[in-house]
Amino acid sequence: MIRGFLSLWLCASVVVLAGCAGGPRLTQPVRAIWVTRFDYKTAVDVTQIMENCADAGFNAVVFQVRGNGTAFYRSRHEPWAEQFEFRDPGFDPLELAVRETRARGLELHAWVNVMPAWRGTTPPAHPDQLYHKHPEWFWYDQHGGRQALSSFYVSLNPCLPEVRDYLVEVFRDLVARYEVDGLHMDYIRFPNEPPATPRGSGLDFPRDARTLALYHEATGQHPDDDRGAWDRWRTECVTRLVADIHRMIRRTRPRAALTAAVGSVRANALTHFQDARRWIDDGLVDAVFLMNYTDSPDTFAERLTPWLDPPPRVPVIPGMWFGRHEGKPVEEATAAVRRQIEVARERTGSFCVFAYSSLFESADDRELSRRTLEELRIRAVRREFLLPFLRSLAAPRRGVL
């Protein structure tokens, strides 16, 4: 009953959206790199990042501007990031990033963490941060306890319509005022892995009274009556948020692409109530970026097959991560990454590398005093092995999806 109702609603939305002027654009083939919010602190950092990305042969930069309910741009809804001490740093990182990518012929996709609303063992210092402003929007367990602060994220509850409406408005403000080529959704799921949900705790989220009432209204059940139905309903709530954001972006900036970073193994992703294959099939995203993080090029290739057979409606962009290769000689690990890029291009034409700080020095290193001689050497070796290869892949012209 839940799926039938939502499917009708989604189909109606897609029909409406199909009549919108214009359509999403995405450079083809995609040669992208993720740049985290920790990679920059100053305007000089942002400019240098874009120069390095262009010089390396990338054609798209996935640039993080929202981490946990705080912003790295002049948001009308959320305070400045804690990395800027909740104050305007004197420049707008997103505005500058758009300008610098335009000057170099790059695409800029604004990367936002969707569900996370705070991270750390102490509450945010800003009184208007969501943790203080809307405590009722966070996760509560079956015992009435609020999700505990930890080294990981505490998150918003997408089962609440008011939370979905809020997130849509946050992203509407962003895409309306900044000429981005796309909005890239990360953590568009329940971040319910440990320590968010401690192993063996038996805690289940969200079990606040309002969520339970909404679930009972939709199904006539309590979560403990049928755990499969409870999981499907939570998955549908995430999908409905994706649909709402898609509808908003098509109306607000029709030619921008809506993309999502998703788990590469669908069964695992569903434990976080993320059904990206459904989003593809229902036309709710313009591309998915697979977080296909593994040491093995063979495993990397095997994980691609379910996404490509049958052929998907939108591009599937494989992502690879240097961080999974710790403990191996840098030359061997970098060769594995290069092979994964080759596999990605052979199978899909596109790829995305995680992350900028794996190849280049970043503000994160300066801030955390991690710029050791050995790490500098590792990055230098990676650049020596990969940059000539990446530059050779640069397309002679820009295509439109």
- Each residue's pLDDT, cut to its tens digit, for the chain (401 residues) gives 444 444 434 444 443 333 333 444 687 899 999 999 999 999 999 999 999 999 999 999 999 999 999 999 999 999 999 999 999 999 999 999 999 999 999 999 999 999 999 999 999 999 999 999 999 999 999 999 999 999 999 999 999 999 999 999 999 999 999 999 999 999 999 999 999 999 999 999 999 999 999 999 999 999 999 999 999 999 999 999 999 999 999 999 999 999 999 999 999 999 999 999 999 999 999 999 999 999 999 999 999 999 999 999 999 999 999 877 767 899 999 999 999 999 999 999 999 999 999 999 999 865 555 567 888 888 999 999 999 999 999 856 444 44
**How many CB atoms lie under 10 A from the CB of residue 72?**
25
CA within 13 Å, CB half, 124: 27
Number of structural domains the chain divides into: 1
Answer yes or no: is 350 within a domain. Answer: yes
Q: Are strands 60-66 and 31-35 parallel, antiparallel or unpaired?
A: parallel
Q: Which residues contact 288 (CB under 8 A, 6 or more apart)?
A: 259, 260, 261, 262, 276, 279, 280, 307, 314, 315, 316, 317
Q: How far apart are CA 150 and CA 379, in angstroms?
A: 31
Q: What is the pLDDT of residue 369?
A: 55
Q: How far apart are CA 372 and CA 388, in angstroms?
A: 25
Q: How far apart are CA 248 and CA 241, in angstroms?
A: 11
**How many CB atoms lie under 10 A from the CB of residue 307?**
22
The CATH number of whichever domain residue 79 belongs to comes to 3.20.20.80
Answer yes or no: is 278 within a domain. Answer: yes
Q: Which domain holds residue 57?
A: 26-119+157-193+227-392
Answer yes or no: is 76 within a domain. Answer: yes
Answer yes or no: is 36 within a domain. Answer: yes
Q: How far apart are CA 392 and CA 342, in angstroms?
A: 12
Q: How far apart are CA 301 and CA 297, in angstroms?
A: 6
Q: What is the pLDDT of residue 370?
A: 56
Answer yes or no: is 379 within a domain. Answer: yes
Answer yes or no: is 141 within a domain. Answer: no
Answer yes or no: is 50 within a domain. Answer: yes
Q: Are strands 257-263 and 182-186 parallel, antiparallel or unpaired?
A: parallel
Answer yes or no: is 205 within a domain. Answer: no
